[in-house]
């Protein structure tokens, strides 16, 4: 199913497995932090994937519904070890968050007390902020090769941060600009080719064009993948509909979260308001304000932010368990919700990635993707700024001035301890080149110590 299945094994499966475990363990801080972790490990440290190939994959995942960081991990795992590699990478990316939120949901439903968890993760968020800032500088310096690319990145940042333009529109506009620009000003828009498209430029990396394009995509493979993916997605849903009925909570969750899985363009925040409104007002799965508690779990545990839907699924089934044990119903609700949310993510990658890789050298595609890459830098900067504001300030006010949205932090709520941890982590990473694991571990320890002293 992939380009790499008929080629010699360049990376041992055992080494790749532990690399993906490492990525999963470090996947705090939302998509910006998760993308930064993968870039640092796979591009810089292990040199399995070139800078351009990494950005090429990221551009594609940014266009898809669902969590882009999890889909990026799946894509890169597929590049290295085919379909099995993609399944391992994508599943391991989800697993820590699933287990964490399941445990926290049980504690929340049973005890309504997450103080210990808050203490554990208090120091991690500002440290992840430092990782994100480092990634913005690093990726930006390599992707923005001329003033045109810088202007596109700046426009993307302004569009999404100040005007709240939907992310898919920004990406589509950037792609259109790159496509047209490549026809009239090729030297400014063919940035990908200028950097890495030639085999000579990819020397030193394991996955090159010669490796990635061994097996060409075909319609028969695509149809087989589509059939398998749709069966895995919808057979359990239809089974619950037939055996339990359309009004059963498991069936309702399967149908509802299948719909949201297909429309979550632009990240989890784009759809969370809708999910919260439906969960509270229509289905009665959550009480008002509980969505924020679930979001707090997702933000302070590893894995994609959209994993918050698991909390919604747990609480909905817990409160509508019928004759079943509420805790058991909650666990099943978590599994159902997670399944219908992430099976489509694997489908989009395994279906589209072979074609995206095969078309990688197409000049019109590369000029469009050069502009999308620049726009993605602006989007990552937007995520970094948003994450910084939310991490360092207790109160953030949103003001609207006509079409312009401005986030204004209340400086009286500045968290000095979080700021100090972020600065220390930034210095450790930039000045002393400390390892990410050590930096995150020390930051988490500092957070726990602060909580112990404060209490």
Quick one: pLDDT at residue 68? 87
pLDDT of residue 115 exceeding 80, the answer is no
Quick one: pLDDT at residue 260? 84
- CA–CA separation, 325 vs 194, rounded Å? 61
Name the more confident of 296 and 256.
Answer: 256
Quick one: pLDDT at residue 343? 96
pLDDT of residue 267 exceeding 70, the answer is no
pLDDT of residue 281 exceeding 70, the answer is yes
> Which SS3 state, helix, strand or coil, does residue 397 take?
strand
Q: CA torsion angle for 444, 447, 453, 455 (degrees, to 10)?
A: -110
Q: Is 410 exposed, middle or buried (0-12, 13-18, 19+ CB in 10 A)?
A: exposed
The residue whose two tokens read 């078309």 is 359
Quick one: pLDDT at residue 98? 94
Quick one: pLDDT at residue 276? 76
Quick one: pLDDT at residue 149? 92
Per-residue pLDDT of 356-415, as tens digits, reads 888 776 777 778 878 887 887 887 788 778 878 878 998 989 899 999 989 899 999 999
Quick one: pLDDT at residue 122? 79
Q: What is the DSSP string of 260-298?
A: HHTT-TT-THHHHHHHHHIIIIIS--S-TTHHHHHHHHH
326: left (phi over 0), alpha (psi -120 to 50) or beta: alpha
Per-residue pLDDT of 38-89, as tens digits, reads 998 998 888 888 887 888 888 788 778 888 889 999 999 998 888 999 999 9
Q: Please, are residues 269 and 232 in contact by the beta-carbon 8 Å criterion?
A: no
Quick one: pLDDT at residue 208? 57
- CA–CA separation, 209 vs 196, rounded Å? 10
pLDDT of residue 2 exceeding 50, the answer is no
Containing 399, the helix (H) or strand (E) segment is strand 396-401
Range from 153-167, 320-334, 336-350 carrying the lowest mean pLDDT: 153-167
pLDDT of residue 303 exceeding 80, the answer is yes
Structure confidence at residue 266 as a pLDDT band (50, 70, 90)? low
Structure confidence at residue 198 as a pLDDT band (50, 70, 90)? very low
What is the number of other CB atoms lying within 10 angstroms of the CB of residue 42?
Answer: 28
Quick one: pLDDT at residue 332? 97
Q: Please, are residues 51 and 195 in contact by the beta-carbon 8 Å criterion?
A: yes
Range from 118-127, 139-148, 162-171 carrying the lowest mean pLDDT: 118-127
Range from 9-23, 117-131, 252-266 carrying the lowest mean pLDDT: 117-131
Quick one: pLDDT at residue 196? 45
Structure confidence at residue 277 as a pLDDT band (50, 70, 90)? confident
Name the more confident of 139 and 36.
Answer: 36
Say whether pTM exceeds 0.75: no
């Amino acid at each position: 199913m992939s380009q790499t299945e008929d080629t010699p094994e360049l990376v041992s499966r055992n080494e790749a497995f532990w690399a993906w475990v490492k990525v999963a363990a470090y996947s705090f801080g939302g998509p910006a932090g998760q993308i930064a972790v993968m870039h640092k490990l796979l591009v810089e440290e292990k040199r399995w994937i070139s800078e351009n190939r990494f950005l090429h994959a990221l551009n594609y995942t940014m266009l898809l519904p669902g969590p882009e960081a999890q889909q990026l991990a799946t894509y890169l795992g597929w590049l290295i070890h085919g379909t099995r590699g993609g399944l391992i990478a994508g599943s391991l990316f989800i697993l820590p968050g699933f287990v964490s939120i399941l445990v926290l949901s049980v504690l929340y439903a049973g005890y309504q007390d997450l103080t210990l968890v808050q203490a554990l993760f208090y120091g991690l968020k500002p440290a992840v902020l430092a990782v994100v800032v480092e990634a913005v500088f690093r990726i930006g310096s390599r992707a923005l090769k001329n003033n045109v690319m810088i202007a596109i990145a700046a426009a993307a940042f302004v569009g999404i941060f100040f005007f709240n333009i939907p992310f898919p529109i920004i990406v589509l506009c950037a792609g259109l600009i790159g496509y047209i620009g490549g026809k009239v000003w090729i030297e400014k828009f063919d940035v990908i080719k200028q950097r890495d498209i030639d085999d000579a430029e990819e020397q030193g990396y394991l996955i090159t064009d010669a490796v990635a394009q061994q097996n060409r995509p075909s319609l028969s493979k695509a149809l087989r993948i589509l059939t398998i993916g749709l069966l895995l997605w919808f057979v359990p849903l239809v089974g619950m509909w037939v055996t339990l009925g359309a009004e059963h909570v498991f069936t309702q969750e399967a149908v509802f979260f299948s719909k949201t899985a297909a429309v979550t363009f632009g990240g989890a925040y784009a759809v969370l308001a809708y999910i919260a409104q439906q969960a509270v007002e229509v289905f009665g799965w959550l009480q008002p304000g509980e969505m924020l508690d679930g979001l707090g779990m997702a933000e302070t545990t590893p894995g994609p932010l959209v994993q918050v839907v698991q909390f919604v699924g747990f609480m909905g089934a817990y409160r509508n368990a019928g004759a079943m044990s509420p805790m058991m119903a909650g666990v099943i609700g978590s599994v159902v919700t997670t399944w219908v949310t992430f099976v489509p993510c694997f489908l989009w990658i395994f279906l589209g990635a072979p074609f995206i890789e095969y078309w990688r050298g197409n000049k019109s595609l590369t000029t469009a993707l050069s502009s999308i890459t620049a726009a993605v830098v602006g989007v990552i900067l937007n995520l970094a700024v948003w994450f910084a504001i939310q991490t360092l300030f207790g109160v953030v006010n949103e003001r609207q001035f006509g079409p312009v949205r401005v986030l204004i932090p209340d400086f009286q709520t500045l968290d000095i301890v979080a700021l100090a941890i972020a600065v220390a982590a930034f210095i450790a990473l930039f000045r002393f080149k400390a390892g990410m694991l050590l930096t995150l571990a020390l930051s988490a320890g500092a957070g726990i110590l602060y909580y112990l002293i404060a209490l």
